[in-house]
Each structure stands twice: as structure tokens, then as C-alpha cells.
Amino acid sequence: MIKDKEEIEKYIYILSETLCRSDYWDEGQFNICKNIVDNNSNMKNLYESTQKKLETDIFNQMAKIRNIEAFQTALFCIRSKAKILMYKDNLHDWTERFKIVNYLFLFAVSTEIGNRTVLFCKDSNVVRKIIGLGYTFFCNLEFYNQTKCNIKEKIYEKFYARMEKVTNRIGDMHTYQIKQKDILLNLQKRNINEVKMKSRINVQLENFDKIKQALNNNRVISIANKNSPKDDLIILENNAFKCLQKELQVFIERFEAKKSKNPSDIECDFIFSYRNASYIFISKKIVFDTLEMFEKFFLMGQYENLFKYYYQVNIDQKNLSDYNKLMTYKIVDFLFINNYLLPLETRKDKLIVPRIEIEDYTLEKQRQLGDIDVLFYSSNTSILYVVEYKNYQMMITRENDVSAEISKVEREETIKKVLRRQACIEENIDYILEHLFKNRYNVKGIKSIILTTKPNFYFFQFPIENTDCEYMDWIEFEEKVIQKQF
């Protein structure tokens, strides 16, 4: 039996009951949405001062908890359960609950809070108050970012409805398998494949495959685990933890709660272990999610912030370049097997492959306009399509990433650049048909497509007004190709 088991279970019960009753969650005196008079007047100062007051009150409330270590453990247990229920029950509701409990757990761990300093205080009332304060913290964060970017709620809802549809769909651009034999052989000869890219993980991060094996077949864990093996949580005494393989110890400690730099850091979602004076608690669900996501992000060459946070390394630029090429070849493969016409090239090894990242679409390279990622002609519509592919980072949180999505597109001036390139292509259409297609197709028009792997918020907030340029995510593009809408 683990120490303070009854206390931990009591807090788990109170937390579970409170999280499932949202009427406990309103702390109106700290809600900037309810208290602001003028949205544009001193918003930043009001937001920052209110969040500081919130954190002070959270600390004061946690100081009333009778057994703070048991409460921290209970928060970690509920946090792990919320992660599981995100995918089994209601994604939206349990994501919100996970964020609240995650923040409060890390706040409790990172702050020097002793056991109860106030007598005659009922724990259940205090816990409910703490949950309400945590909820309000995220309400403020969301409202501040929404107001800062001047985003209307209807745009938010439209975007997240699309995100949910795309996320819940089986199969996406990442999982699409190239079918054209020459493209596959070309990628193989150029060492552009996921196996090669995964091999770099072992060198730059850790041997993830070995860690998975160590977790799945571990004699120490099976013997020393204080919890049921059917349960998500592994509970080991600190002395038993020291008996694990050294590399497994290093990996688990890398993602331990005290490694959090700030309780509200988005990177902390991947923390999967918590150590107190007697035990170390490990969430199997979050461990394997972390391994899967870090492997995926490393392959994509994305989320440099995560690798700096946990491994102190920069993004692998070779992986980023190779993965973007791989994804672009997926686009041309899909078009090719659906009978669209593309510029082809015969390589020295006699492989015939569709061209990507085309630079020579004029007599002189257009360095300011950049290359053409994908070019294809439709005999259905007699239109030449110019595809600008953007493998933007997937959004992780609603609160923090919206402004980043907007600023990225604005900084690159994506739409202006695409339209300038389209004008250049129109001026050089004869050269392009002769030089790239080797055929004088009857081109009635030229249109540009800005294609992203996943939905990008910018294009919901600022729809493209030019009728010769269209934005779409991969799923919409895939559907239109199949239905011969191009």
C-alpha cells in the first residue's frame, strides 16, 4: 500500500466531481472578459495584472490544503486520466480539463507550498475554488489572444470545426503512401525516406525504439510496480527506480514534473512523470504519446521549441528539407495517378518522375519569386494550376498558436508572393509549355493554390479575395482531385 493512499483517493474524488460540474468553474472577479470596459484600453496591463492576482490566489488556496503532497499526486493522477479520456470520451471537454489540471499540477510542484496553514478549512471547498481559478486563468489567456488578434468567435468556431473534422478523419497527408514506382525509387536513391530520417533520432536525441522495448518488457517495473499492471499509472519506490536501466532513468527524469520552467508552458503537456519524497509516478499513456509525437515532430523538422526545451538541441535542418521534399512528392504522385498532367524529367538512371520545386520556369531564375513547388495542367478545365505547398506547424493549443499562425503568413507575405509568381507565369506561359511540358496545351487560365498539410487559421481570418488564387488544406485538395473538380 502506498503512503497517503486514502488522502490521495479523497482528493481524486473531489477533483473528478468538480471537473465534471462546470458550475463550479466561474471566478468572475478575475475574469477579464466580464470586467473589461474598453477592449483596446490597456488590455495587456489588465491581462498581466489579473493573471498575477490569479496566481497569488491559487497559491493562497493551495496553502489551505491539508496534505499538499497527496494533493499534487492526485492532480497528476487526474491529469493522466484526462489525457486518456480526451480520446475515449469528449475531445473538447477533456482537453479543457487536462489543461486546467496540468497547469495546477505544475504550479503546485514548482511552488514552495507547505501543508495547511489555515485551520477549520474544508478541503473540498478549497479544491473547487482552485479548479475555478485554473479555469479562469485559461479563459483570460484565450480572451486576451482573441482580442489581441481581433478574432471573431464565429471565425474561431468555423476553424475549429474544420480542425476537428480533419483530425478525426482516417488518413491524412502524413500517412499517404506514394504509389508511383519511379518516384519511390528516386526517393530511395536520394535517401529521402522515413527510415533514414528516423535513424537520426538515435544520434541527436535518444534511441526511442530501445526505450519503448525497455518500457514494455521491464522486469523491475513488473515486480516493483505498486499499482495494478492494468492501470495507466506505474508507481515505483525511489529505490526501485534506481534499478532501471540507466538510459531509461535518464529518459524518465528528462520529462519529470520539476523540469517544467513555467506551469503554463505548452511544452509541459509532454511531462509524464512525477517524483515525490517516496515514489515516482509514470503515466504510460503520456509516455508513449510523448515518444510518438517527438518522433513525428523530429521527422517533420517542426516544433524546435520542444527539442530545445527537453534536449537543448536545434531542429534538424536536413530532416526539415527532406520531409518537405517527401511531402511535395506525395502531391505530384497523387495528381499523377489521377491522370493530371505534370512536367516530367528523365533522370540519368532512366527514372521518369514528375518535377517538383521548379526553378527554371523562365529563361532567368526568379530568385525573388522563388521556385514552383508543383505545377499541373487539367485537361478537364484547360487550366494550369500552380501549387504553393506550406508544411506549417500543426496547432497544439487554441490559446497560444493562433497569433503565431497569423504572423508566420504575414511575415512571409505568402499571398503577395504567390500572386506575383502567377503574374510572371502568365507572362512566360509559352516558354513553360514548351520547356517544361513539351506540349502546347490549350491553357484558358492560370490559377494558384496555397496548400497546407493541416488547416491554417490565417486563411480563415483573412480569406483570399483574388478569384485566381485559392487556399485549401490537404483533405479538401484530395477530395477535389478525386472528384475531378480541377
Eight-class DSSP state of 98:
H
The predicted pLDDT at position 86 comes to 85
- Tell me the pLDDT of the chain averaged across its residues: 87
Give the domain-ending residue among 118, 148, 178. 148
The answer as to whether 205 is a domain residue is no
Same domain, 37 and 60: yes
Closest to 432 (Cα-Cα) out of 355, 379, 380:
355
pLDDT class for 401, splitting at 50, 70, 90? low
Residue 457 sits in a domain whose CATH number is 3.40.91
Residue, of 70 and 168, whose pLDDT is higher = 70
Cell of 24: 463550479
Same domain, 266 and 321: no
> For residue 166, is pLDDT > 80?
yes
Q: What is the mean pLDDT of residues 401-418?
A: 84
The percent of residues above 70 in pLDDT, for the chain, comes to: 92
Same domain, 171 and 242: no
Cell of 224: 516493483
> For residue 199, is pLDDT > 90?
no
Give the domain-ending residue among 93, 123, 148. 148
The predicted pLDDT at position 238 comes to 94
Eight-class DSSP state of 478:
H
Same domain, 187 and 247: no
Closest to 298 (Cα-Cα) out of 317, 326, 270:
317
The predicted pLDDT at position 25 comes to 59
Same domain, 37 and 91: yes
Q: What is the pLDDT of residues 59-108, one digit of tens each?
A: 999 998 988 999 999 999 999 999 999 888 777 788 889 999 999 999 99
Partnered with residue 390 across adjacent β-strands are: 452
The predicted pLDDT at position 302 comes to 78
The answer as to whether 206 is a domain residue is no
Q: Is the dihedral of CA 311, 315, 317, 322 positive or negative?
A: positive
pLDDT class for 124, splitting at 50, 70, 90? confident
Global pTM value:
0.84
Q: What does 49-88 look like in DSSP terms, one character per residue?
A: HHHHHHHHHHHHHHTT-S-HHHHHHHHHHHHHHHHHHHHH
The answer as to whether 101 is a domain residue is yes
Range of the domain at 270: 218-311
For the ranges 27-31, 142-146, 163-167, 248-252, the lowest mean pLDDT is seen at: 27-31
Decide if 106 contacts 260 (C-beta within 8 A). Answer: yes
Q: What does 290-309 look like in DSSP terms, one character per residue?
A: HHHHHHHHHHHT--HHHHHH
Same domain, 126 and 17: yes
**End-to-end Cα, the chain, rounded Å:** 65
Q: Where are the alpha helices (DSSP H) in 236-303?
A: 238-241, 246-254, 284-300
pLDDT class for 33, splitting at 50, 70, 90? low
The answer as to whether 287 is a domain residue is yes
Same domain, 232 and 379: no
Burial string for 195-219 (b: 16+ CB within 10 Å, else e) reads eebeeebeeebbebeebeebbeebe
The answer as to whether 86 is a domain residue is yes
The answer as to whether 223 is a domain residue is yes
Q: What whole-number distance in Å separates Cα of residue 128 and Cα of residue 399?
A: 23
Same domain, 434 and 290: no
Give the domain-ending residue among 311, 327, 349. 311
Q: Which residues contact 84 (CB under 8 A, 6 or more apart)?
A: 232, 285
Q: What is the mean pLDDT of residues 245-270?
A: 93
Same domain, 14 and 107: yes
Overall domain count for the chain: 3
Same domain, 340 and 228: no
CA–CA–CA angle 53, 59, 61 (5° rounding): 100
Same domain, 185 and 103: no
The answer as to whether 423 is a domain residue is yes
The predicted pLDDT at position 2 comes to 76
The answer as to whether 196 is a domain residue is no
Q: Is the dihedral of CA 237, 242, 243, 245 positive or negative?
A: positive
Decide if 234 contacts 284 (C-beta within 8 A). Answer: yes
Cα atoms found within 13 Å of the Cα of residue 28, Cβ hemisphere only: 2
Q: Which helix (H) or strand (E) holds 287?
A: helix 284-300
Same domain, 64 and 127: yes
Cell of 231: 492501470
